[in-house]
Amino acid sequence: MAKKLLIVANWKMNPGTQGEASSLAREVAKGTGAVQGVEVVLCPPFSFLGVVCEEKGQLKLGAQDCAAEQKGAFTGEVSPSQLKGMGCSYVILGHSERKNLLGETLGQIAAKLQAALQAGLIPVLCVGEKKRGERKDVVRQAGAALQGIAKTNVSRLVLVYEPEWAISSRKGAVLATPEEVGKAVEALRELLSTRFGKEAHGIPILYGGSADSRNIQGFLQEGNVQGALVGAASLRGAEFVRLVKNALLV
């Protein structure tokens, strides 16, 4: 398992201005920078990577997506090697919003994952079912996205269990229980062990369905995750700092 907790802030298409992004990054860095036992990653929109990098202090920088190519005539795309050059260590791949709203396929995600690893980034791979309890679909997605990944790259992978039905921005969302998360994590662990053997034990699995400062401890304790991918709560500096500190109380 991971040696320390991993908390990833996914700002999505927020905040509205460069100044707000700089202020939020500064607040989080001040509140969590000296905290031991957790790695905090800030993933702002592409347009704010520069200012967040300047303000992040000891925190890590990540992106919300990348292209499957390192360079070339791909209008509007950002390559993983460019992200690496801007100071990114992580990149989120396969988020449900990209699959549902932009039609991103598992094949495209697999290609992006390979490109991210080639560039030296740590991919944060999101998988999750549309309907509650369909854990076979979670395993299917993970298996397809990880197709062709060598055992030598296993130590540089992060998985996120992201049940789509529990995401707060989705209409009718309901919070997953720690028990449900634990069962999904168990299924993913079985897949990883079958695919990669003992090397798979070190792959962190995070929870990505409306985590906040009040429920993070339950997901860590009973859900058997090693951290969280945080959406809405990461946009409120004080709340996100509380989430990080509460996670360390487990």
Report the catalytic residues: 95, 162
Pair 105, 23: CB distance under 8 Å: no
Which alpha helices (H) appear in the chain, and where do they start and end? 18-32, 49-55, 80-85, 96-102, 106-119, 135-145, 178-196, 216-221, 237-247
Token code pair at residue 74: 């791909």
H helix runs in 197-236, sequence order: 216-221
Rounded to whole angstroms, how far apart are CA atoms 69 and 90?
16
**CA end-to-end span of the chain:** 15
Which residues share a beta bridge with 124? 92, 158
